[in-house]
Amino acid sequence: MKVLTSTRHIALLLLTAVAAWAAPPPAGDRERGDVPGWVMITLMSAVLVAALLAIAGPALEGLFNQAIDQVSP
């Protein structure tokens, strides 16, 4: 359940960042330029990690719990 909450927070953060970036510029700042490449790579990486956590989170949690159960007496 914590994985889904964390994924929702990441998605909300990403949507907020995209909305802030897409907002029209202030009247005196007409030349904002393009989005730098590192910003797009960072956003795409965060989306990829969130998607993988949403899909594989329960399976990874099960593997971790099995490993802990085998080690614990």
CA dist., res. 19 & res. 12, Å (int): 10
- pLDDT (tens, 9 = 90+) of the chain, 73 residues, equals 455 556 777 777 777 777 666 666 666 655 666 677 888 888 899 999 989 888 998 899 999 999 999 997 7
Q: Enumerate residues 6+ apart whose C-beta is below 8 A from 25.
A: 32
pTM above threshold 0.75: no
Amino acid at 19: A
